[in-house]
Structure 1
């Protein structure tokens, strides 16, 4: 049976961790980008407030604040077309569905934190030092729960680092995958 290297960004990082918990026999390695872990009471209250705002008013109610959290100020100013593209992606979500998916980011953490048995596979966990929702402390906490994990915090980047500076993400991923290819399964 072949094993896969599972990669996920944000909510996708939660899904990747859940996959590794459910089918470790099929998981060769994990790449987890900008994904949440347990939040402080204040941070949990803030995300639940955004979920409620999205439930009441739809995706448009949260999109501008999200763009500020996701991209650095300089990048937002220099790249209005990208902001329009990402805004369009968020606004394309249907009201009535969007908040239910958003709620998974808030309420789905408990089932993947402190997995039992613990995850044990090579893993690369990345975030930006300015990712205010899924920051360095979360990346280190995720990595600490996976035997064989490496945490990487990128300077000067926020949640959408992959869009803002693809090389900052792609180069360490490539190095990780190249090193993984040298190891026997």
Structure 2
């Protein structure tokens, strides 16, 4: 017999169905480390070319489906909707509601974000206020080069913007924790 950590993701539907348990689930999600665990497979990379292929595959996967990204570029223009960065190699298609949960690849369920901002958005450290389409930065990012993004209006390119209800759902899940 051994003691193993409980993986709450296996019980997520149960936790979501009971609003009193939602704080436990969100606290667990906030504590997950963004650092990947080192596996034996990582030690088996023997060549520079093999390592480069792994990196390129990860970038390709990160950018998601080309069609989804193209829809976002067509809708919002070829700029990060938060920073205004127009370098195409850094722009990624970010789902507001994760595709794995919603199967929604519509432009209304997406944002075009610079790669670092996409990662912070996925982690809930950068949020979009669903009512004002303004950016909210988690306090932990203060002094890390993202302060100037606080309160910035999302670039909408003359559209109605992303789905407010999707943003609202994300806002409630990752809502900023008041500082003590």
- Pick the TM interval, shorter chain: under 0.3
Larger Rg: 2
TM-score (norm 2): 0.25
More strand by share: 1
More helix by share: 1
| Larger relative contact order (Cα-Cα within 8 Å, sequence gap ≥ 6) | 1
TM-score (norm 1): 0.25
